[in-house]
Amino acid sequence: MLEDYIFGIRPVLESLESGKKPEKVLIQKGLQGDNFQRLFSLIRKMNLPFQHVPVQRLNRITRRNHQGVIAYFPAIEYHSLEDLLPGIFEGGNVPLLVILDGITDVRNLGAVARSAECAGAHALVLPEKGSATVTADAIKASAGALSRIPVCKESSLLQSIAFLKECGIMILALDDKGQKSLYDQNLTNPLAVIMGSEDKGVSAAARKLSDHTTAIPMKGKIASLNVSVAAGIVLFEALRQRSKQGLT
């Protein structure tokens, strides 16, 4: 369950007009009327995810007068990467960002966020589609870190990677067939680490945009680590290298 929702045509419409962006909107099948058409036009204009559902599903969520519309809103306020990055540089910091590519499990999202916050990372970057969202369960799994570390939700992960490269950020994809061992990689420069899902890894398109790929050396027979464990290893290696140079 997402953290919060608003129901009713006018309350949802007013929320959208005020600039709030829901995670998704549930709409009763066959809904009609001028006010609904105005709302639906705005939903399409804002390119918001929506789903037509039977009225019984809406009734299971609330028995109050939902008027056929329920909008779920995120548990946190998302940031814009383009707005956030200049402030990191202006604060005299060497950026350390984590890009999550295809991470769909909210517990993994929360666990990665916990490692990222503890290691001093400046932000998490998620795609709008095909990714876990920040729910109450994710916040719980993060031990509250998702309420502390900025989270950017971007419409195109590939465009975000390209933007970061233009800003002088080195893009490092974690891949079990990486070009270098993690411990031979210089992590002291402005850096964004791409973490992929455990089953598919970093997408081919994101790997192609990366400046480097790196692998965590392993001696056991199991071929992969949980993504949150892998993220912790990479981030704390970055912290170790930066601490030696007085960059933290």
Helices (H), 8-51: 9-17, 34-45
Same structural domain for residues 175 and 240? yes
Domain with residue 13: its CATH number is 3.30.1330.30
Which ranges of the chain have pLDDT less than 50?
Answer: 1-2
Domain with residue 124: its CATH number is 3.40.1280.10
Q: What is the pLDDT of residue 1?
A: 40
Residues 6+ apart with CB under 8 A from 46: 16, 21
Q: What is the pLDDT of residue 176?
A: 86
Closest CA to 86 of 157, 169, 173, 189: 169
Q: What is the pLDDT of residue 133?
A: 84
- C-beta separation of 218 from 225 below 8 A: yes
Q: What is the pLDDT of residue 2?
A: 41
Same structural domain for residues 136 and 235? yes
Could you tell me the sign of the dihedral formed by the alpha carbons of 162, 122, 236, 76, in that order? negative
Of 57, 73, 89, which one is at a domain's C-terminal end?
73
Of 31, 55, 73, which one is at a domain's C-terminal end?
73
Number of separate domains in the chain: 2
3-state percent breakdown (helix, strand, coil) of the chain, nearest 5: 40, 20, 40
- Residue length of the chain: 248
Same structural domain for residues 38 and 132? no
The range of the structural domain enclosing residue 11 comes to: 4-73
Pairing of strands 170-174, 4-7: unpaired
